Amino acid sequence: MSNLTQKNLPSVFISHGLVGETLRPGTDLFEQLNKFSKSQSYLPNVETVIIVSGHWECDEITVNLNPQPELDHDHPSEWLYKFDFRLETNVPLANKIKDKLKKSGMTIKTTTTASADHGAWGGLFALYDINTQQKVYHSQNKQYVPKVVLVSLDTKMDPQKHYDLGKILGEFRDEKTMIICSGASTHNFNYNRKPGFTEQSKIWEKWLQSIVTDQNVEIRHSIVNFKQNKLYHYMHHSDDHFMPLVVASGSSREPGQLICLELQFTSMCSCYLFP
C-alpha cells in the first residue's frame, strides 16, 4: 500500500470486527492496520475525520452537532472501558455537510446529544493510537486525534441512497479532511460458528474485492446490488455493517485498494483505501 501524496485525503473503510481484538496489539488485524497507518504520512496532519459507522442508524440520515461526543462503550471488551475521553466535533463543517445534503434533496436531521459508538471510535483508533489520546486528553494538552463529524446511516438501508451519501461526503475531502467508514465486510452472528463459514467467507471476500477494486466505475457502482450475490445473507445478518462500505465506495471516483484481509475468529475482515 503506497503512501498518499495527492491533494485530497482518502476515504478508508475499516472492518472494526470485535473492537477489543481489532485494537489489541499483537492481533493480526491490529498489526496490519498499525503497519498501514504508519505508512500514511498525512495522518498526523489531518484536521477532521468524517465518520460513518455501522452502529449508528436513524430514521433519516442524521448529522451529529454534539460538540464533545463521549465514547460509548457499547461492546463487551472490558479492557477498553478505561478510555473515558471525549472527541471534539468540527461543528462548522458538520453544518456545511448538513446543508449540502439537504440541498441535494435528502431529508436530513441533526442531533446535539449523540455519543460516539464503538464503530465510530473503533474505526478512528484503528489509525490513531488510543493510549496516546487518553494521555493527551487528561493532560489537557492539545487534541491528539483530529476533530470529527459523525454522520448516521438511514435505517431504511437503501443502497443507492448510501452510495449517493458517499458521493456528497466525498466532496468534503481535501488536504485536511478525510473519511472513515467503519463496519464489517463479513458480519453474521447467526452463521459464523457453523462448519464451512470461514471458507465461504473467503469466497465472499474474493468477490467483494473484485468489485471494490475494479477499474470500471460501472462495476464498482454495482456494489449497490450486493444482495444479488447469493452469499450475502449468509455473510451478513443485517445491512448495517455492510452499508459503510457502500458509502466509502461512493465517496471516491477511484478504485478501492485493499489494505488488508485478515481472519478474526471465523470471519474474514477486509479494509480498503479509496484515493
Per-residue model confidence (pLDDT) at position 142 = 73
Rama region for 250: left / alpha / beta (φ>0; ψ in -120 to 50; rest): alpha
Per-residue model confidence (pLDDT) at position 3 = 53
Question: Is 248 a residue whose pLDDT tops 60?
Answer: yes
Q: Residue 191: which residues within 8 A CB-CB, separation 6 or more? A: 197, 234, 237
Average model confidence (pLDDT) for the chain? Answer: 96
Average pLDDT value for residue range 67-83 = 98
148 assigned to some structural domain: yes
Say which residue, 5 or 48, is predicted with more confidence: 48
137 assigned to some structural domain: yes
pLDDT per residue over 103-116, tens digit each? 999 999 999 999 99
Count of domains in the chain?
1
3 assigned to some structural domain: no
CATH number where 83 lies: 3.40.830.10
Q: How far apart are CA 172 and CA 174, in angstroms?
A: 6
Q: How confident is the model at residue 143 (pLDDT cuts 50, 70, 90)?
A: confident
5 assigned to some structural domain: no
1 assigned to some structural domain: no
Q: How confident is the model at residue 6 (pLDDT cuts 50, 70, 90)?
A: low
133 assigned to some structural domain: yes
What are the C-alpha distances in Å from 205 to residues 29, 49, 259? 15, 27, 13
Name the residue range of residue 53's domain: 11-274
163 assigned to some structural domain: yes
Residue-by-residue DSSP string for 125-164: TTTS-HHHHHHHHHTT---SSPEEEEEEEETT--HHHHHH
Q: How far apart are CA 124 and CA 86, in angstroms?
A: 13
Question: Is 5 a residue whose pLDDT tops 50?
Answer: no
Q: Are 147 and 90 in contact (CB under 8 A)?
A: yes
2 assigned to some structural domain: no
Q: Grid coordinates in use for 180? A: 472513515
Question: In b/e form, how buried is each residue of 215-251, taking b as 16+ CB within 10 angstroms?
Answer: eeeeebbebbebeeeebbebbbeebbbbbbbbbbbbb
Average pLDDT value for residue range 166-176 = 98
